[in-house]
Chain A
Amino acid sequence: MVRTIGDVLLLLGAGWTVLAAVGVLRLDDVYSRMHAATKAPTLGLLLVSWGAAMHLGGGGAVKILLVGMLVLLTAPVGAHLIGRAVHRSPGDVRIRIDTVDELGTGG
């Protein structure tokens, strides 16, 4: 029973990661690609780590859950750094969705 739930969680996480990859490939804006590339693989990795923890059990389960927690903590920080760098950078990144720059004026 536990292994069946683990298998379902592994497949669900892998499918979520495929959806994230499709989003990164199809969306046409840096910020929306970042939206697809940061949140969805993190949830996919969390589901995969829960499934793997159900398969492993014991100390390996604790370690692999810690991997999931680590990525859950570091992925938003990394995406925030990248987003801030894109907003401040002198280059001309093509932006199609966010036409109103709420951070650009008055600062």
Chain B
Amino acid sequence: MTTAALVLLAIAAALLMVRVLVGPSVVDRVIAVDALLIVVVSGLAVNAAMTGRTTFVDAAVVVGLLGFVGTGVAARFIERRGA
């Protein structure tokens, strides 16, 4: 059952990667990468549920914080330089 969840998350990541590659403006890519990092955090949570080990949960915390900081930096960049 957890394998099915991982397959669904992989489909979502692939669709978001299409938007990252196609996206007409920088803003679209930043939004898609932000959602992609949330998908990565979900994948780490599913992995922790599948294996029963909590090692990757710390990595999930780090990825979540990194996504927020990266989004803020990209927002400042867009505000100054244009989309």
Complex Cα spacing A88 to B76, Å: 11
Contact of A70 with B by CB under 8 A: yes
B49 touches A91 (CB 8 A): no
Chain A: interface residue count, which band? 35 or more
What per-residue 1/0 map shows which CB atoms of A92-104 lie under 8 Å from chain B? 1110000000000
What per-residue 1/0 map shows which CB atoms of B1-35 lie under 8 Å from chain A? 11011101101110110110000110110111011
Complex Cα spacing A41 to B71, Å: 15
B interface size (C-beta, 8 A): 52
B79 touches A88 (CB 8 A): yes
Instruction: Provide the residues of chain A in CB contact with B60, threshold 8 Å.
Output: 64, 67
- Nearest CB in chain B to that of A15: its residue: B8
Tell me the A15-30 residues at the B interface (CB within 8 Å).
Answer: 15, 17-18, 20-22, 24-25, 30
Q: A21-B11, A24-B32, A71-B64 are in contact. Are A6 and B38 (CB under 8 A)?
A: no
Instruction: Provide the residues of chain B in CB contact with A59, threshold 8 Å.
Output: 54
Candidate in B13, B49, B61, B81 with the most chain A CB atoms within 10 angstroms: B49
- Nearest CB in chain B to that of A8: its residue: B1
Complex Cα spacing A64 to B61, Å: 8
Instruction: Provide the residues of chain B in CB contact with A22, threshold 8 Å.
Output: 15
The 3 nearest A-B residue pairs measured at CB: A91-B82, A60-B54, A78-B71
